[in-house]
Amino acid sequence: MKNIEGQAFYTKEPNTALEAEPKIKHSEIEELREPMMHMLEQMRERIDRGEYNLIIGDDASGRVPTWVFYNFLKKVYARNNLPPPSVRYFAGSRRAMEGSETAIKKEEEIAKHIARFIERKAKNNETKTLKALVVTDTIETGGSLLPAIKALKKHDLPLDIATISFIVGKNETKVRNRFGVDIFYGTPSGNSIYGRGDLSGVAKNAPDVFSEPMRKLYPYPGAIDVQKIREVRADSKTLASQLAEWYEAGLSR
């Protein structure tokens, strides 16, 4: 019997010695386990149907849970003989940008990128089954996601939102109505990755469509811990693998 952070389940015992599983080095990634489990339990039916074939990552700190979701879905889909989802990253916006000319322009630019993606899928007759999962680390007002959500809706692309933290208090109904789509969240409290460019390896300038690599913004010796970013990516993949095993075993938290 195998144990993954308190989640016990049975596996076949091979004749040869088991190789040691990779360990998660960074506590910030380990702390995503419980909220991820909570979300995956809510989303199980949609995941089992293979509904999500496009993941939109909300940069910058939303890149970390996007890594986890992508690697998790890739593993689960493979076992169900489904292709992995595609991934696109767009820089999140700021609350102060809402309704501004800059926000409208950003929405239009994102819509163009989505259109190109849909065109490529149309060549393979895959547009009828397209559905997006927008992944972020934190929602308070939802302003950061608006340009991407509006861009997706311009193309009538069905979507859901998954966020580690949903810190909206009494405004939950207002925020949900604002998007008009299902929102799945892991915790009503904060999380360990919010604003952590040192983990995601990218930083955003809110008016821009895409984030920039930290090493490009800070090209000084020792300014960026590249090894740490690589470890966080590896940790995200390890967590995704462990979550996939837990998920396939049908365990509750």
Average pLDDT for consecutive 10-residue bins of the chain (253 residues)? 39 49 93 97 96 95 96 96 95 74 91 94 80 96 91 95 94 90 96 93 90 89 91 97 94 65
Instruction: Give me the DSSP letters along 47-80.
Output: HHTT---EEEEEETTTHHHHHHHHHHHHHHHHHT
- Any idea what DSSP says for residue 112? H
What distance in Å separates the CA atoms of residue 69 and residue 164, rounded to the nearest whole number?
11
The pLDDT of residue 1 is 38
- CB-CB contact of 42 with 36 (8 Å): no
Note the pLDDT of residue 23. 92
Structure pTM? 0.88
φ and ψ at 92, to 5 degrees?
-65, 160
- DSSP letter for each residue of 10-55: -----SSPPPPPPPP--HHHHTTHHHHHHHHHHHHHHHHTT---EE
Place of tokens 């010796």: 221
The pLDDT value recorded for residue 192 is: 93
Question: What does the CA dihedral 204, 208, 210, 212 come to, rounded to 10 degrees?
Answer: -40
Half-sphere exposure of 6 (CA within 13 A, CB side): 6
C-alpha span between 135 and 56 (Å, rounded): 6
Domain residue limits, the chain: 2-8+24-247
The CATH class for the domain spanning 2-8+24-247 reads alpha beta
Is residue 183 a contact partner of residue 139, using CB atoms and an 8 Å limit? Answer: yes
Tell me the residue type at 232.
V
Q: How far is CA 152 from CA 80, 209, 231, 253, in A?
A: 27, 14, 32, 33
Cis status, amide bond into 249, omega within 30 of 0: no
